[in-house]
Amino acid sequence: MNEYENIVTLTDMDGAEVDFEILDIVPYEGGDYAVLLPVDDDSDTVDAVILEILHAEEENEEDMLQGVEDPAVLDAVFGLFVERNKDEFNFEQ
């Protein structure tokens, strides 16, 4: 049985496919943001990835994920994520 749920495969800028687990979808200022964690990262500290969800306008289209450039938005979304999941994850201060 796969230990991960909610896995998405994204293509990085070099064209390599990378699997991420969706930890949460955080609503913020009228948008939705996916907080992702790389599945195959063996490092001691793993950084979460936050991407904005661009919802499809047509029913037959798929939602898209887009990087977030604004550090204030990243900080706000991550803060909301931590608050929503403080009992689920062990966050380093």
| pLDDT tens-digit series, residues 20-31 | 999 999 999 999
At 93, the pLDDT band (50, 70, 90 cuts) reads low
Instruction: Report the predicted TM-score, pTM, of the whole model to 2 decimal places.
Output: 0.82
Residue written as token pair 């929503």: 84
Element holding 76 (H helix, E strand): helix 71-84
Of residues 1 and 24, more confidence is placed in 24
Give the position of tokens 């689920």: 88
**Residue 80 has which token pair?**
């909301």
User: What whole-number distance in Å separates Cα of residue 2 and Cα of residue 9?
Assistant: 15
Model confidence pLDDT, tens digit, residues 22-67: 999 999 999 999 999 988 877 777 788 999 999 998 988 988 999 9
Yes or no: say if 45 and 32 are a contact pair by the CB < 8 Å rule: no
Strands 64-67 and 49-54: antiparallel
Q: What is the rounded distance in angstroms from the CA atom of residue 9 to the CA atom of residue 48?
A: 15
Q: Give the sheet arrangement for strand 31-38, strand by strand.
A: 7-11, 17-28, 31-38, 49-54, 64-67
